[in-house]
Amino acid sequence: MFCLPFAGGGASNFLPWRARLAEAGIGVAPVQYPGHETRLGETPLHAWEDMLAALQEALAPALDRPYALFGYSMGARLAFALAARLVAAGTPPVQLIIAAHLPPDMPSPALQAAGMDDESFKALLLQYGGIPVAMAREQGFWDLTLPVMRADFALAAAPLDLDAYTSAGSAAYPIAAYAGVDDVHAGAKAMAGWRRFTSAGFVLREFAGDHFFLRSADVCPALNTDLALARSADLSSLVSV
């Protein structure tokens, strides 16, 4: 299972899942974007097609076995588009798991960040939660964070050609949608719309928490169930794009 992080997030968010899911034969391969965590010294990618091409190239060597894509928030948007590219390349996923993101035929919440000055953008980021109060008071934190978040929000706001992504047969695999009960940005009612993007099975699950329920709720039992078709050889290496 390749895990695509949320805006500003990195591979470390998914590392605790490895031991939990290994017992069920599920390998967890977190993706590390340029400019994030262990790749902090690299320039973040701003362009949608550049990121998708980099993801496809990075994952290609490991697609000789059944695999799933898990995307969280911005990562969900990327996972959806990447899945279509991989279908077109003849290496489709067996499962797409979407967390904390609206269906692609709804306007991206990231669009509201366009043209914001730094102070307004900071306020927007704090509304999502996930940033400790103590860190938010440190200018050094924002000096490191804002360029990365600007790049990630540009990706998250990129327009999608839905005809291109759905015409390639990308709807032939099941989709599971995970929502936080208290998520005001991508609640369960809206995320139910992901059903429109699969001709296979669909499941909607809710977890205690807000937009970052990943950090408080135990999603591993649900992953174990929803990845039944994807259980295969170990994919535990960290993937860099």
Confidence of residue 234 (pLDDT cuts 50, 70, 90): very low
Is there a contact between 34 and 146 (Cβ–Cβ < 8 Å)? Answer: no
Across the range 177-199, mean pLDDT stands at 95
Instruction: Look at 152 and 115; give whichever has higher pLDDT.
Output: 152
Q: What is the pLDDT of residue 159?
A: 84
Distance of alpha carbon 22 from alpha carbon 5, whole angstroms: 20
Across the range 41-45, mean pLDDT stands at 93
Across the range 55-70, mean pLDDT stands at 95
Q: For residue range 128-186, what is the model confidence (pLDDT) as tens digits?
A: 877 888 888 899 999 989 999 999 999 888 888 777 666 544 467 899 999 999 999 99
Q: What is the pLDDT of residue 241?
A: 56
Q: What percent of the chain has pLDDT over 90?
A: 69
Q: What angle do CA 200, 206, 209 make, to 5 degrees?
A: 145
Distance of alpha carbon 100 from alpha carbon 24, whole angstroms: 25
Confidence of residue 58 (pLDDT cuts 50, 70, 90): very high
Average pLDDT, the chain: 89
Distance of alpha carbon 215 from alpha carbon 217, whole angstroms: 6
Q: What percent of the chain has pLDDT over 70?
A: 91
pLDDT surpasses 60 at 236: no
Token reading at 100: 């904390």
Going across the sheet that includes 68-72, the strands are: 202-207, 175-180, 95-99, 68-72, 2-4, 29-32, 239-240
Q: What is the pLDDT of residue 229?
A: 63
Across the range 180-201, mean pLDDT stands at 94
- Cα 17 to the center of its chain, rounded Å: 15
Q: What is the pLDDT of residue 181?
A: 97
Q: What is the pLDDT of residue 18?
A: 96
* Of 87, 88, 95, the residue nearest 70 (C-alpha): 95
- Assign 199 to helix, strand or coil: coil
Q: What is the pLDDT of residue 133?
A: 83
